[in-house]
Amino acid sequence: MSETHKDPSGPLRGLRVLDVGTTIAGPLAATLMADFGADVIKIEHPKLGDAMRHWDPFKEGTSLWWKMIGRNKRSITLDLSCPEGKEIFLALVAEADVVIENFRPGTLERWGLGYPELRHANPGVILVRISGYGQDGPYAERPGYGTIAEAMTGVPSFTGFPDNPPTLAAFPLADSVAAMFACFSAMFAIYERDRNGKREGQIIDVSLFEPLFRIVESQVVAFDQLGQIKQQMGNRFAEEAPRNAYATKDGGWIAISCSTNRTFHRLARAMEREDLIDDPRFLSNTSRVAKAEALDAIVADWFRTQETAEAIQVLEAADVVAGPMLTIDQILEHPQFVARKTVTTVEDAELGPIRMQNVVPRFSRTPGTVRFAGPRKGEHTDDILAGELGMDDDRISKLREDGVV
């Protein structure tokens, strides 16, 4: 059996998902489902394909981004904007549980594929709509990318070091968080649909900015009740101290977090500075936060006298909450990552063995698996049209000649 035709396992086996998204948020939500056994059919434009196929880095002309985000999906090419493409899509919708899209609001409607049409084909289908600003409001029709969504959440305004510009994450943070919210929301909707006995679908409206804004937790209530506006503090944290990344003698970095008296006392003993435990400035987390700069200077001075490996040994022996700041080459050799099999290797027809992140979290009875990396564009078109929709070779050849697939 080929890598791209292994039977899926996992708790979502039997769930059918149509991924008509592009770039990151929509496709990643579908990937998360595919990892746990859902049969995800990736629908791509016949000429362009998914935008992630064109993202660096490349190896032998193949995007490595695509190999990750396209994994575990069957790929079919289909032009949704033409009548025959629409007809084929609705035939697939009839057998689907979830449709995921992240076009600009109104795009599906322009093609005659809005929710009324999908619901007519399948009353139980769940439509997950991901967009920059949501399906309504004054910004709804604006083009939305995760970078701008992240900027709007306020997160960059308190990320980074004082006197430096607001700092954006160096990966698609807003897209990735939105994808996770979209994934679990779809599962909530499926549970409700199947529990109520009516098999009635619904629309899930996910913006890129709101999920990330949701997890900033106390920002709104702190401003509402106290007028607080969180400021840039580098690697420090306004709610606890000491919490920072500290440079070691040999050029390494170690992160620590001490939010309780117990964890702070362990650090003080590890540093052989038990006098800090009874220091009036540091008697509680609140007082330590108030004197965070002075405390940071003391802790930083100690770390500067330590080799990284030796400091980790001392801190671990004292049960301090601490760890080295790792780079990707170190991660791939780290014993905890290795023991947990957090990185897996998958055989790929184009590139051979590829290492990538494994499926998380782990299930004891129905674990997810990485069955194959992102397939070639349209690799499964014939299989899907023939196997799922019963088309013969002549019909498929005609669709290809007409540019529909």
The secondary structure of residue 55, as a DSSP letter, is P
Instruction: Write down which residue in 304, 331, 358 finishes a domain.
Output: 331
- 375 and 325 within one domain: no
Does residue 392 register a pLDDT over 70?
yes
**pLDDT tens sequence across 43-78:** 999 999 999 999 999 999 999 999 999 999 999 999
Listed in sequence order, the residues at least 6 apart from 321 whose beta carbon sits closer than 8 Å to its beta carbon are 256, 257, 258, 263
> Can the peptide bond before residue 367 be classed as cis, meaning omega within 30 degrees of 0?
no
pLDDT at res. 135: 96
Q: Quick check: pTM over 0.85?
A: yes
Q: Is residue 231 part of a domain?
A: no
Number of neighbouring beta carbons within 10 Å of residue 336: 9
Last residue of a domain, one of 331, 351, 383: 331
Q: Is 242 within 8 Å of 292 (Cβ atoms)?
A: yes
Q: What percent of the chain has pLDDT over 70?
A: 99
Q: Is 78 helix (H, G, I), strand (E, B) or coil?
A: coil
Asked if residue 146 and residue 120 are part of one domain, the reply reads yes
Burial class (CB within 10 angstroms; exposed 0-12, middle 13-18, buried 19+) of 290: middle
Nearest Cα to Cα of residue 324 among 247, 242, 238: 247
Q: Tell the burial category of 180 from Cβ atoms under 10 Å away from its Cβ (0-12, 13-18, 19+).
A: middle
Start-to-end C-alpha separation, the chain? 26
Per-residue pLDDT averaged across 231-236, rounded? 92
| Same domain for 124 and 10 | yes
Q: What is the pLDDT of residues 65-112, one digit of tens each?
A: 999 999 999 999 999 999 999 999 999 999 999 999 999 999 999 999
Note whether 210 and 249 are same-domain residues: no
Please tell me the total count of domains within the chain.
2
Same domain, 11 and 75: yes
Do 184 and 41 sit in the same domain of this protein? Answer: yes
Domain that holds residue 177: 3-215+341-401
Residue 233 lies in a domain: no
* CA distance linking residue 40 with residue 11, whole number of Å: 14
Average pLDDT of the segment spanning 263-278: 97
| pLDDT at residue 1 in the model | 33
pLDDT in tens, 329-380: 999 999 999 999 999 999 999 999 999 999 999 999 999 999 999 999 999 9
Query: Which residues are designated catalytic?
Result: 175
Say what the pLDDT of residue 39 is.
Answer: 97
- Give per-residue pLDDT as tens, 6-25: 677 899 999 999 999 999 99
